[in-house]
Structure 1
Amino acid sequence: MMSPSAPAGHVTARAYDSMLTVFFPKDLSSSVTPDYLPYTLWHLANSVTGTVAGTLSMQALLQALGLGAGTAIGLAATTNWIIKDGFGLLGGVLFAGFMGNRFDASPKYYRFLANLCIQASNLMELLTPMVPHLFLPMASLSNIGKNIGFLAASATRASMHRGFTRTDNLGDITAKAGAQATAAGLVGTGIGIVLSWAIGTDPHTLLAAFVPLSLLNLFAAYKSNRAVVTRHMNIERAELTLRAVLDNPVSQRITPPASVATPSPAEKLVAPTPFDISRRETMFGWRKHPFRVALRLEEPVDAPRCPLATMSVEGMIAFSAGFGDLAAQRYRICVASDAETVWLWFLDTADHEDVTRGFIHACAVRHALETGRASAHAGWLRNSPADAYLVSSARVDNILAALVAAGWDIAHTHLGDRNRRLHVGPVPVQ
């Protein structure tokens, strides 16, 4: 029994701590990264407004079936309802199969896309009373959009939660996220019911209430995603990071090939942190490549201008033999004769570190070619792709160390997700 003399403030503090334990991971200040709390608060706002908007759209959908007039749903209406649910499930399955592991590579992009799909589906449901004869196609498309949205939101959630962990508490964070979503759903449903009673069932009135709620939902989704810091690399984050490292004043010292047989241990590079890059990466829309020299990553052998389209693997190895010791490398780089394009492939024996090293090396070659083009004192790089390869090869280890020091997770990347690996060696006998 609690002592009567216990201060009221102590009771309030204990109640506050109990509430935190229910909805947030244990040891909040030390068990998660600083971006977890702003992401969670904005995500709660996103969940509440999304549930309210969904309640309004569902009311409009039932009104289109005649529930507002007090009539029972007939056999045809029931069949239509089942069909539209079936189309929705089918759309979600096809979408999941098509996307593969893109959710892990760009979780913020697909998280926002999920919210956009759900709100577009809500809007379509909201418009069905205005065209009740189109109920089945509109409801089916709406359900497909919602299933795609819910699937994308669920698939990206695990990647984001893993990035928040500082200790082995991924399960705790996931469980608290479920509690937060349930609470937000209850609050949103309550607000939606009260609001629907207040404004009635007129489609135009529902639409007027839906639009600001939907926009607020998308804004909250944008802010919650912006709060996330992704610590593993995809192509965009890797290019932005490597461009910053290679543009460092220390990195701009161009040394003739004869003096770069081994890396310089004195070279100190500083890479931007994942937090720095998270503010620059594109969450939606077209992204701009930071390198002028194009990169063709794991291109199929029949792609236009691909070196492998006109030579065998053995011939490509011979072509690249002057570019360094290939025996120790599990990737292959080719440079176009005009120094405008760099091709990169990974061998079927490459692991995560090989993929990361290969991508670093390819970007360093691109930077060396651009530097040689811009500098009158380094024009030999522009005219000799092999020299550009040697200059950049000597610096891969230093760049890799700078990435690790900046906090990047180089053990898990999404730089070789296309899985068009090369096999070097005897062709297996069928």
Structure 2
Amino acid sequence: METDRGVVLATERYGSAESWKYFAKDEVMERRRDGREGESRGNSIVGVFKTVFLPQGYPESVSDDYLHYQFWDTLQAFSSSLSGTLATQASLKGVGVGNQEATVAAATVTWILRDGTGMLGRILFAWHKGSKLDSEAKKWRLFADVLNDIAMFVEILAPYFPAFFTLIVCTAGVFKSLVGVAGGATRAALTVHQARRDNMADISAKDGSQETLVNLAGLLVSLMLIPLVTDNTILTLSLFFLFTVLHLFANYKAVRSVVMETFNEARLSIVLQQYVRDGQILSPLEANQREPVFFELRKTVPIRLGVRLQEVVQSPEELNLALKENNMPYLLGVRNGCVCVCLGPEASVRDEIRAMCQAVWLSNTLSPPTQQQQSPWEIVHESHKLMDKIFNPFLKGVEAAGWDVKRTLLDWDEWRVEWKTKTN
């Protein structure tokens, strides 16, 4: 190919950001950029910013919701930084900074107690809720930020109750320890979602750079705020509530902007119910927009996945009932107000999705708890027949709609059971 610049020898590009051509003219090779000049990655202000703060290969190397999420995440981090300054000032005042009668030993003991209770809270929370943080990352991310704001509010009020100051700051320390576990774990879960080239480390590093820049900006603003709020309770509380409202709003928008293509219980339930109702398959965007991001008082029969055999059946007769109409590597039963699923060791991800679909249908059918005309086992048998009829077209539909069915975020426990196909 020959142009007025010479013969085109080669072309190269840097993702979707830059495109270059090599020309040969008068036995000299020259490299020229396609399109507008002066926007090369690393050779302009915008280019330097992208290199420093965005993952390599952006936007192809991250999920489509990355930029929207990071915008709101940056805004919430900035407002949280300012709220944290007000809380820190109150804590320092409470332990005696500026008070000649306060002792270093008393302040140190208070700080040690706060940190110690926080460490215990971190261990207990990770033990009790660790497995839930992947499957319900949005809810726990929002929970962490709400709890963080509550902890900072408690710290601001602590100096006004000197008799209970140590108890109050220890309580705030426990809250913040829960925030650390839930916030850190859900951030990791969201990073897995955003990483489209196995580039989790790069995304995490750049997220850290973004947060550091925001905290630096918050530090500069805080330096201007501190002289204004010192010994001014009304202004301190007013600014805190302003920053808290901004923080919670930004967090809500951030989790709402995340569009996950893998099924958890909530997203699968939303898609399945829509399909059973009118045959429509919701896209990941539509289902994520309907997914609840706040914890709710459960209105449906709870579902327990991967339980022990005795939590599904408790006699040979019940095992035969569980196997009736069922040729799948899982057993379902209704016991103690829960839909329980017992999984076989050979079950695939497809089987897990089908079992969850069946459990969701059972849960919705049995909710709210009313006087049932049929026995629970009869309803279980109906669910097997329904899945035999609808599951294959449903699975093809969700794959075509863009859902990832090769893995799930369903909250399975580790019990796996092998059973006889028939008992006497």
Q: TM-score range by the shorter chain?
A: 0.7 to 0.9
Match of 2:20 in 1: none
The corresponding residue for 1:376 is: none
Q: Distance in 1 between matches of 2:97 and 2:380?
A: 72
SS at match of 1:68: coil
How far 1:199 moved relative to its partner? 2.5
Distance in 1 (CA, whole Å) between partners of 2:106 and 2:312 is: 60
Q: Cα–Cα, structure 1 residues 425 and 156, in superposed 2: closer, same or farther, change >3 Å?
A: same
d(CA) in 2 for partners of 1:68, 1:25: 45
2:390 alignment counterpart? 395
Structure 1's 396 and 115: CA in aligned 2 closer, same or farther, altered over 3 A?
same
Question: Contact (CA 8 Å) 1:129, 1:203: kept in 2 or not?
Answer: no
More deviation, 385-394/130-139: 385-394
Q: Distance in 1 between matches of 2:180 and 2:231?
A: 26
- Partner of 2:188: helix, strand, or coil? helix
In structure 2, C-alpha distance between the alignment counterparts of 1:341 and 1:73, rounded to whole Å: 56
Matches of 2:288 and 2:51, distance apart in 1:
29
TM-score (norm 1): 0.78
Of the candidates 188, 194, 200, which is equivalent to residue 218 of structure 2? 188
CA distance in 2, matches of 1:394, 1:71: 78
Residue 345 (structure 1) aligned with residue 368 (structure 2): no
Instruction: Specify the alignment match of 1:41 in structure 2.
Output: 71
- Report if aligned partners of 1:55, 1:193 keep a CA contact under 8 Å in 2: no
**Change over 3 Å in CA distance of 1:8–1:402 after alignment to 2:** closer
State whether residues 284 and 402 of structure 2, in contact with CA within 8 Å, keep that contact through their aligned partners in structure 1.
Answer: yes
Distance (whole Å) between structure 2 residues aligned to residue 229 and residue 212 of structure 1:
29
Tell me by how many angstroms 1:385 deviates.
6.3
Q: Tell me the equivalent position of 2:243.
A: 213
Q: Return 394-403 or 273-282, whichever deviates more.
A: 394-403
Partner of residue 267, structure 1:
none
Following superposition, the deviation at residue 386 of structure 1 comes to 4.2
User: Contact 2:281–2:401 at 8 Å: present in 1 too?
Assistant: yes
TM-score, scaled to structure 2:
0.79
Q: Which residue does 1:224 correspond to in 2?
A: 254
Distance 1:247 1:214, change over 3 A: same
The question of whether the paired residues in 2 share the 8 Å contact of 1:346 and 1:416 is answered with: no
In the alignment, which residue of structure 2 is the partner of 1:308?
Answer: 313
Which residue matches 1:154?
A: 184
SS in 2 for 1:162: helix
Mark the CA change 1:399 to 1:72 in structure 2 (over 3 Å): closer, same or farther.
same
Q: Specify which of 404, 409, 420 is matched with residue 409 of structure 1.
A: 404
Deviations 1:46-73 (A, max 9, x none): 0011011101111011112221346664
Structure 2 distance, partners of 1:52, 1:99, is: 29
Q: Which residue of 2 aligns with 1:115?
A: 145
Contact 1:103 1:155 in 2 (8 A): yes
How many angstroms apart in 1 are the aligned matches of 2:76 and 2:379?
A: 54
| Alpha-carbon distance between aligned partners in 2 of 1:95 and 1:188, rounded to the nearest angstrom | 30
For the residues of structure 2 that align with 1:30 and 1:300, how far apart are their CA atoms? Answer: 40
Identity %: 26
Pairing partner for 1:103 from 133, 148, 158: 133
Q: Secondary structure at the match of 1:214?
A: helix
Runs (5+) with no aligned partner, structure 2: 1-35, 368-373
Partner of 1:281 in structure 2? 291
Equivalent residue number for residue 170 of structure 2: 140
**1:198 and 2:228 aligned:** yes
Classify the secondary structure of the residue corresponding to 1:67.
Answer: coil
Aligned residue type for 1:132: P
Deviation for aligned residue 1:15: 1.7
Question: Structure 1 residues 42 and 342, CA, compared in 2 at 3 Å: closer, same or farther?
Answer: closer
Deviation at 1:420, TM superposition (A): 4.8
Query: 2 CA distance for matches of 1:52 and 1:403?
Result: 43
Report the equivalent of 1:333. 332
8 Å CA contact retained: 1:130, 1:203: no
Q: Which has the higher strand share?
A: 2
Determine the structure 2 residue equivalent to 1:241.
271
Q: Is the 8 A contact 1:231 1:408 kept in 2?
A: yes
Tell me the CA shift for residue 231 of structure 1. Answer: 2.1
How much has 1:32 moved relative to structure 2?
A: 1.8
* Residue 225 (structure 1) shift: 0.9
In 1, Cα distance between the equivalents of 2:378 and 2:176? 54
1:292-347 CA distances to partner (integer Å, 9 max, x unpaired)? 8x5754496799xx7624x23xx3342244404x2xx21123589xxx99653322
The 2-side partners of 1:407 and 1:126 are apart by 47
**How far does residue 360 in structure 1 lie from its aligned partner after superposition?**
2.6
Give CA-to-partner distance per residue, 1:344-364, whole Å, 9 cap, x none: 332244343321122234456
CA contact (8 A) 1:35 1:229 kept: yes
User: Aligned residue pairs: how many?
Assistant: 376
| Counterpart residue identity of residue 346, structure 1 | L
Matched, 1:127 2:157: yes
The 8 Å contact of residues 301 and 308 in structure 1, kept in 2 or not, is answered as no
CA 1:206–1:366 in 2, change beyond 3 Å: closer, same or farther? Answer: closer
Q: Distance in 2 between matches of 1:163 and 1:365?
A: 30
One-letter amino acid of the structure 2 residue matched with residue 308 of structure 1: V
Amino acid at match of 1:344: V
What is the root-mean-square deviation in Å for CA atoms of aligned residues?
A: 3.3
